[in-house]
Structure 1
Amino acid sequence: MNPNIKDAILAAFVADALSLGVHWVYNTSEIDAKYGRLENMVKPELAPYHTSKDKGEFTHYGDQMMVLLESLVHGSGFDFDLNRFSQAWRNLFSAYDGYMDQASKETLANFKAGSQPETSGAISMDLGGAARIVPLILCYGDDIDAFVKAARAQTAMTHNSAQAIECAELFARVSAMVLNGAKPIKAFERALEKMPEAQKIQALVQTGLESRSQDTRKAIARMGQMCAIEGALPATIHLIAKYENNLKEALIENIMAGGDSSARGILTGFVLGCYKGIDTLPKQWLADMTAHEKILGLIH
């Protein structure tokens, strides 16, 4: 197995745990006043939606990503099965003490009304549904068509909008290309060539690429700190392109920009982890991540 596969998965989970303390804090002056430059995992004292969590744990995005990783491992092998994932996902929320977003609530209601996993998704254009795809690279890092199919299916189960599903395909294609030697910026350009119908996504990616010389906090404030793809996608592309060779700086600048830092961070960590691994990340970040050993065990 390419060692960067493991690193990319770890980087994505680390990014979510790092985001937890300030996730959905939109007023960046509050982050400044409390922490200055935040370079460590902290208990979510500022993040009002995650008060049940502790330092080193995950947001609801990270928890769902963990469910996907766990669902890949089963008695007869190692692959993605939408029905198995959907059942594990529902089990997570049957007694969940963390935050539950609107897409999850609507999806659960659709399941209760009799929907199957192929049709259960909310019409949500949040990036978080696509961000979950990370563990799928364990199965399909060398099979782009299968990766795309699985990424689209797992996303549509909860975020059944064209843009969310296109984002899942985009990051599946990009991560596979980067894992096989492409530079991230070039990989985005090549991936979009394979997706000529995704015109809205193409424009947002271009906005992100064109912003890479700008100050990160200002750029993300202008594009939008929100969960919606309209702001979250170009902001994520900005982080990947600007900090292509510095994963640590990318993840710090991500949380300092405020808003939905989790979805942005997961995908930034994923792509840059595929690119150069996690050697530049502080060892303390891995040690502070509660599920570190569990993730390694599932990967191995």
Structure 2
Amino acid sequence: MEKNQKAAVIGAFVADALSLGVHWVYNTGVIDKKFGRVERYHDPLTSYHRGKRAGNFTHYGDQTLLLLESLSAEGGFDKGRFAERWRIFFSGYSGYFDQASKMTLENMAAGKGLTESGSTSDDLAGASRMAPLVSKYGGNLDKLVHSARAQTAITHTDDRVIQSADFFARTVFAVLGKQPPIAAMEATLKTNFPESPIASLVIMGLDSRNRNTRETIAEFGQMCSVEAGLPGAVHLIARHADDFKTAMVENVMAGGDSAARGMMAGMVLGAAHGMAAIPKAWMSEMAAGERINSLLNP
């Protein structure tokens, strides 16, 4: 595994951990008042993540770690086995259950196949946990795209969510091949998604690259949906293409579902700039940091 593949994975994890403190805080004035500029990990402000502490993950990051553990145990991505691990994980989970997870678990309990139980949720989060796949398939585009789409569909069957996973898989692959982030997104859009349902959302993000991040994400929407989250993630990458840390901080300061947006941006910008761009404290103070390192460096 190349160093920048590792940085893509770590980039997604630190994005989630940094988001935890203000995740789903939609009033950015509250973020300013309570924390100032968020450049370190904080205990969660809202009750959604009750019991979590600074350096922990949201439920998105917890599922991302589960995917990384599955890849390590299985030697690669196995859709059925990951679905079973996901089901077992949530049977004893003490963190937040979003609607997509609840619906998927209900479908599984009703007897639907483990890989045919995905919810109809249009939340970007289903795609956002894909970063660990880069550690295995960062050099194989077909496998990366296939597994990114497949892992998403386990919990999110909305076509735009699955296409978002496809889009970012192709983008991060191009970035690992030394294509600049903006050029990678533009080429991926032109070649693979010119008439797709997500095309207009990607274009919105790309066209906003010279605008203020907080104002732009407020305009797109701070919500969990692909309609808001996808252009927000693209904006973060395009606006802060040369600065991983600033991208992550500005994402959190924009409020709302910063975890899903940030994980996508963190993956792509981590792939672009490597481990040197990720603040060392964000790695050392991440509760699962040693576990993640051991999984990425067996």
TM-score (norm 2): 0.97
Superposition deviation, residue 198 in structure 1: 5.2
Give the aligned partner of residue 65 of structure 1.
64
Could you tell me how far apart the structure 2 residues matched to 1:51 and 1:73 are? 29
Superposition deviation, residue 32 in structure 1: 0.6
The one-letter code matched in structure 2 to 1:69 is L
Could you tell me how far apart the structure 2 residues matched to 1:190 and 1:96 are? 40
The one-letter code matched in structure 2 to 1:232 is G
Give the aligned partner of residue 51 of structure 1.
50
Runs (4+) of structure 1 exceeding 6 A deviation are none
Rate the CA distance shift 1:126–1:198 in 2: closer, same or farther, 3 A: farther
| Structure 1: runs of 5 or more not aligned | none
Give the aligned partner of residue 34 of structure 2.
34
Give 3-state SS (helix, strand or coil) of 1:165's partner.
helix
The one-letter code matched in structure 2 to 1:239 is L
Deviation sequence 1:226-282 (CA, Å, 0-9, x none): 000101110111100010010000000000000000001111110000001131332
1:130-141 aligned within 5 A:
130-141=127-138
Could you tell me how far apart the structure 2 residues matched to 1:105 and 1:197 are? 34
The one-letter code matched in structure 1 to 2:169 is A
CA RMSD of aligned residues (A): 1.1
Could you tell me how far apart the structure 2 residues matched to 1:23 and 1:94 are? 24
1:234-245 aligned within 5 A:
234-245=231-242
Rate the CA distance shift 1:255–1:221 in 2: closer, same or farther, 3 A: same
Superposition deviation, residue 56 in structure 1: 0.3
Rate the CA distance shift 1:115–1:198 in 2: closer, same or farther, 3 A: farther
Give the aligned partner of residue 184 of structure 2.
187
Give 3-state SS (helix, strand or coil) of 1:279's partner.
helix
1:96-111 aligned within 5 A:
96-111=93-108
Give the aligned partner of residue 14 of structure 1.
14
| Structure 2: runs of 5 or more not aligned | none
Superposition deviation, residue 48 in structure 1: 2.1
Could you tell me how far apart the structure 2 residues matched to 1:180 and 1:191 are? 13
The one-letter code matched in structure 2 to 1:55 is A
8 A contact 2:206–2:234 mirrored in 1: yes
Could you tell me how far apart the structure 2 residues matched to 1:129 and 1:234 are? 16
Give 3-state SS (helix, strand or coil) of 2:275's partner.
coil
Give 3-state SS (helix, strand or coil) of 1:159's partner.
coil
8 A contact 1:129–1:164 mirrored in 2: yes
Could you tell me how far apart the structure 1 residues matched to 2:47 and 2:215 are? 24
Rate the CA distance shift 1:101–1:32 in 2: closer, same or farther, 3 A: same
Give the aligned partner of residue 173 of structure 2.
176
Give the aligned partner of residue 224 of structure 1.
221
The one-letter code matched in structure 2 to 1:148 is V
Deviation sequence 1:65-105 (CA, Å, 0-9, x none): 0110000112xx61100111011111111111110100000
Q: Name which of 64, 85, 101 aligns with 2:82.
A: 85
Deviation sequence 1:152-210 (CA, Å, 0-9, x none): 11101100010010001001000011001111111112212342475221110110011
Rate the CA distance shift 1:223–1:27 in 2: closer, same or farther, 3 A: same
Answering whether residue 198 of structure 2 is matched by residue 201 of structure 1, we say yes
Q: Name which of 257, 262, 265 aligns with 1:265.
A: 262
Could you tell me how far apart the structure 2 residues matched to 1:275 and 1:296 are? 19
Q: Name which of 265, 270, 275 aligns with 2:272.
A: 275
Superposition deviation, residue 140 in structure 1: 1.1
Could you tell me how far apart the structure 2 residues matched to 1:259 and 1:120 are? 27
8 A contact 1:166–1:198 mirrored in 2: no
The one-letter code matched in structure 1 to 2:15 is A
Could you tell me how far apart the structure 2 residues matched to 1:81 and 1:215 are? 41
TM-score (norm 1): 0.97
Could you tell me how far apart the structure 2 residues matched to 1:198 and 1:99 are? 36
Q: Name which of 119, 124, 138 aligns with 1:127.
A: 124
Give the aligned partner of residue 144 of structure 1.
141
Could you tell me how far apart the structure 1 residues matched to 2:194 and 2:126 are? 20
Could you tell me how far apart the structure 2 residues matched to 1:39 and 1:196 are? 35
The one-letter code matched in structure 2 to 1:22 is V
Give 3-state SS (helix, strand or coil) of 1:200's partner.
coil
The one-letter code matched in structure 2 to 1:20 is L
8 A contact 2:22–2:31 mirrored in 1: yes
Deviates more, 1:112-121 or 1:157-166: 112-121
